[in-house]
Amino acid sequence: MKVGSIELPSPFVVAPMAGMTDTGFRRLVKRHGGCGLVVTEMVSSEGLVRGIDRTLEYAEYTEEERPVSIQIFGGDPVKMADAARIVQDMGADIVDINMGCPVPKIAKHNAGCSLMREPDHAARVVEAMVGAVTIPVTVKMRAGWTDKDRNAPVLARKVQDAGASAITIHGRTAEQSYSGFADWELVRQIASDLQIPVFGSGDCVEPEQVVERMNSGVGGVLVGRGVLRNPWILAQAADLVAGRTPRAVSMQERGQFLLDYIDLLLDQREHEQQGFRHVAPGASQLSSPASGHQRWVINKLRALCAWYSKGLDSGSHLRVAVNSAESVSQLRHLIEDFFMTAPAAV
Ligand SMILES: Cc1cc2nc3c(=O)[nH]c(=O)nc-3n(C[C@H](O)[C@H](O)[C@H](O)COP(=O)(O)O)c2cc1C
């Protein structure tokens, strides 16, 4: 599977998820296998252009994550083209445009899914970016803004004509947010209409569903919440495709994932060697850890465990315990207690 000039080792992708798919999480998922591409959390084009540290941090990635796509949001073609250049200078393999975010904070600035309400303008954004960079430009959109206006087929064609190398459709409208179900028939139709690869997104929480969607005629499948519940889901889907029984994951391995995640979050900005991470040229170096770094790590674990616990027996106990942890060492102990003393087989 190729997106423009970029060869993906697998058609299964870690979907962009703001607040969740940071570099540490992406690295761990990638290490478990089956993953063809990771996409960063959405990053503000405005913040990139202005060189805001927090924004640049969201765009950071490490070499072991390649191929990597940096997703940006914004509505101004000139700024989006400038931001695409910055993304290219950071060494990313792909730059992705967010045309799916329904959150008013984003959508009211003519960005995210509100771009779907102005298809000609959306196409100009794509055109400007394609003219500014040599890396592939891709688009992630929804089915439409409302149920009465499911214009993804029209927009997808315009975006293709504007030079996009691939498209992802999350088959819900902005109005639906995350309610109801993703319309995979719509995704399949668009995939058969276009010449460029079309990826589908929505509601794959079991490896069998990932494979079933893949076989429905799309170019690839993005998995979001399913990866947060089960970071092995892409590897298990790859097992199925290869005719193998999907790998079993023990409670100990699940616990180790969280412990490794804590270590990577603690290391972030602290011990990683210079040059290991790809930061934008001119960005001020993020030096000493921010005060409250441990608090940040605890909050990241709370956010992940809200999803991770859904994939586990007695998951609610884990969630409650993690929410009450006051220090990283407490967090480690309760993870060890919950997972490491469990029976080995799952
Ligand atoms: C917590 C969360 C954050 C998300 N953030 C983004 C984002 O930054 N950019 C984006 O294009 N989609 C974002 N999405 C949408 C997902 O990429 C995906 O399309 C959607 O969740 C449907 O797939 P799923 O059912 O596999 O989760 C987010 C979804 C969730 C649950």
- At 270, the pLDDT band (50, 70, 90 cuts) reads low
Residue 179 has what pLDDT?
Answer: 96
Residues 155-181 pLDDT 10s:
999 999 999 999 999 999 999 999 999
Whether residue 89 has pLDDT greater than 60: yes
Q: What is the pTM of this model?
A: 0.93
Nearest-atom index, ligand 1, CA of 170:
19
Residue 346 has what pLDDT?
Answer: 46
Q: Whose CA is nearest to atom 1 of ligand 1?
A: 17
Q: What does the pLDDT average to over 72-98? A: 98
Q: Is the peptide bond prior to 67 cis by the omega test (within 30 degrees of 0)? A: yes
- What domains are defined for the chain? 2-241 (3.20.20.70), 251-340 (no CATH)
> Distance, CA 271 to ligand 1 centroid (Å)?
30
Residue 101 annotated among the catalytic residues of the structure: yes
Q: What percent of the chain has pLDDT over 70?
A: 92
Residue 62 has what pLDDT?
Answer: 97
Residue 168 has what pLDDT?
Answer: 98
> Distance, CA 101 to ligand 1 centroid (Å)?
8
Q: Whose CA is nearest to atom 3 of ligand 1?
A: 17
Q: Whose CA is nearest to atom 31 of ligand 1?
A: 225
Residue 280 has what pLDDT?
Answer: 60
Question: Which of 14, 17, 230 to probe ligand 1 with, by most ligand atoms within 8 A of CB?
Answer: 17
Nearest-atom index, ligand 1, CA of 205:
26
Residues 119-161 pLDDT 10s:
999 999 999 999 999 999 999 999 999 999 999 999 999 999 9
Q: Which one of the listed residues 35, 101, 113, 204 is annotated catalytic?
A: 101
Nearest-atom index, ligand 1, CA of 100:
11
Q: Which of 212-221, 241-250, 282-291 has the lowest mean pLDDT?
A: 282-291
Residue 275 has what pLDDT?
Answer: 42
Residue 232 has what pLDDT?
Answer: 98
C-alpha to C-alpha distance for 264 and 299, rounded to whole angstroms: 14
Residues 282-341 pLDDT 10s:
554 443 333 488 999 999 999 999 999 997 888 999 999 999 999 999 999 999 999 988
Q: What does the pLDDT average to over 48-59? A: 94
Residue 279 has what pLDDT?
Answer: 56
Whether residue 274 has pLDDT greater than 80: no
What's the mean pLDDT when you consider all of the chain? 92
Q: What percent of the chain has pLDDT over 90?
A: 87
Whether residue 43 has pLDDT greater than 60: yes
Pocket of ligand 1 (CB under 6 A): 15-18, 20, 41-42, 71, 98, 100-101, 140, 170, 201-204, 223-226
Q: Give residue 269's identity as a one-letter amino acid code.
A: R
